[in-house]
Amino acid sequence: MRETRIGPLRMKPVYATAFFIMGIACFLYALAGAIWMLVTFRLVFAVGVAASLVLLLRALLLLCRSRRIAA
């Protein structure tokens, strides 16, 4: 199985995109006028949270690997 390699420089735009998605969803969530809109914006927010969580875990993994090799 081939591992996907995302270095620290490639993670920055993805992090920015994830936080942008979360920000837009928060803004639109306040403007929602119906229940289906609330649910839709909540799902959009969840996509941003999932992306940032995955990248956070990836960054921690890279940090742990670099410290283990250096030690």
pLDDT in tens, 57-66: 888 887 887 7
C-alpha pair distances (Å), 34 with each of 22, 28, 56: 20, 12, 33
The pLDDT score that the predictor gives to residue 58 is 83
Domain count, the chain: 1
List the domain range (segments joined by +) for residue 54. Answer: 12-70
**Higher pLDDT among residues 1 and 68, named by residue:** 68
Is 6 inside a domain boundary? Answer: no
Q: Which pLDDT belongs to residue 4?
A: 53
pLDDT score, position 60: 84
In a domain, 3, yes or no: no
**Burial label, 17 (beta-carbon count in 10 A; 0-12, 13-18, 19+):** middle
Per-residue pLDDT tens for 1-43?
344 555 556 778 888 899 999 999 999 999 999 999 999 999 9
